[in-house]
Amino acid sequence: MKTQSRLLNCVIGILSIAFVSSRASAEDKVDFEKQVLPILKSKCIKCHTDKDDKGAAKKPKGGLLLTTAEGIKKGGKEDGDKVLIAGKSADSTLVKVMALPESDDKAMPPEGKGDRVSKEDQDLIKKWIDGGADFGAWKGVAK
Ligand code: HEC
């Protein structure tokens, strides 16, 4: 009887550890380089870069450079217009422009210039911003 209840306690212990650790991993931070960057690469970077296909210098659209962490933090043309407010996705233009209807002048990508960013991808970027917008070790796209 005693051994049985010890065994039971042990099983309960293991189960609760498993439960706690699975919850911790569900709350894991979004990894910029692995999860957010691929979205920007496929939907945004062709315009928001400072190099053309041949590597020649050009101006990023809207003065907003999305190929480096510094560029993303600095923001767009309008006097240091920040597009990313760490912790506040609702105030971050970077993700707000993705949610606009395609017909809106400020929608990104601009109308007819690329596929919309899916709801799931927008949610992921919001989660990254709300979690502190940490770039990790990423400094910029390799050139
Ligand atoms: C086809 C080219 C193109 C693509 C693709 C594109 N953009 Fe833009 N983006 C522009 C242009 C042009 C402007 C400037 C618009 C203006 O000033 O009215 C701009 C401006 C912006 C601005 C506003 C900058 C500011 O401070 O005023 C943000 C934010 C932005 N883009 C984010 C994005 C994001 C995020 C994506 C990908 C989902 C994206 N863009 C994809 C061309 C593009």
Q: What is the pLDDT of residues 41-53, one digit of tens each?
A: 999 999 999 999 8
**CA–CA separation, 38 and 44 (whole Å):** 10
The more confident residue out of 9 and 119 is 119
Q: Measured in angstroms, how far is the CA atom of residue 64 from the centroid of ligand 1?
A: 7
What band does 35 get if pLDDT is binned at 50, 70 and 90? very high
Q: Which atom of ligand 1 is nearest to the CA of 95?
A: 35
pTM: 0.84
Is residue 92 within 8 Å of 73, Cβ to Cβ? no
Q: How does pLDDT run across 2-29, given as a tens digit for each residue?
A: 667 777 776 666 666 666 655 555 567 8
126 touches ligand 1 (CB under 6 Å): no
Q: Residue 115: is its pLDDT beyond 70? A: yes
Per the prediction, the chain carries an average pLDDT of 89
**What is the pLDDT at residue 18?**
64
Q: Is 81 in the pocket of ligand 1 (CB under 6 A)?
A: yes
* Residue 1 CA: distances (Å) to CA of 6, 15, 67, 124: 9, 21, 65, 50
CA distance to 34, 52, 59, 60, per residue, from 56 (Å): 27, 5, 10, 12
114 lines ligand 1 (CB under 6 A): yes
